[in-house]
Amino acid sequence: MTTAVPALKVEHVAIHFGGLVALSDLNFTVDEGEIVSLIGPNGAGKTTAFNIVTGFLAPTHGSVSYRGTPLDGLKPHQIADIGLVRTFQRTSVFPNDTIYDNLLIGLHRQSRVHLPEALLGLPRARLTERKVRERAHELAEWVGLGRRIHDLAGSLSYGEQRLVGVALALAAGPSMLLLDEPVSGMNASETHTFVELIRNIRSRGVTILLVEHDMPMVMSVSDRIVVLNYGRIIAEGPPDTIRNDPAVIEAYLGKAAVHA
Distance in angstroms (rounded) separating the CA atoms of residues 155 and 152: 5
In order of 90, 102, 134, 197, the CA distances from 144 in angstroms are: 20, 15, 16, 9
Which residue in 196, 203, 201 sits closest to 220, CA to CA? 196
CA distance 114 to 124: 10
Q: What is the pLDDT of residue 254?
A: 55
- Quick one: pLDDT at residue 93? 82
Averaged over 182-194, what is the pLDDT? 88
Of residues 110 and 245, more confidence is placed in 245
Phi, psi (deg, nearest 5) at residue 236: -155, 135
Predicted TM-score (pTM) of the model is 0.84
Question: What confidence tens digit (pLDDT) does each residue in 199-229 have?
Answer: 999 999 999 999 988 889 999 999 999 999 9
pLDDT tens digits for range 84-103: 999 876 667 888 999 999 99
Is residue 45's pLDDT more than 50?
yes
Residues forming CATH 3.40.50.300 domain(s) in the chain: 8-90+175-258
Alpha-carbon distance of 140 to 75, in angstroms, equals 29
Q: Which residues have C-beta within 8 Å of that of residue 196, sequence separation ≥ 6? A: none
**What's the CATH superfamily of 8-90+175-258?**
P-loop containing nucleotide triphosphate hydrolases (3.40.50.300)
Residue 116: pLDDT band (50, 70, 90) is very low
Alpha-helical segments (H) within 82-230 = 99-108, 115-120, 123-142, 158-171, 188-203, 215-221
Can you tell me the distance from the alpha carbon of 245 to that of 240, in angstroms, rounded to the nearest whole number? 9
- Per DSSP (E only), the strands in the chain are 8-17, 20-30, 35-39, 61-66, 69-70, 84-86, 176-180, 207-211, 224-229, 232-237
Distance CA 137, CA 188 (A): 26
Per-residue DSSP letter, 180: E
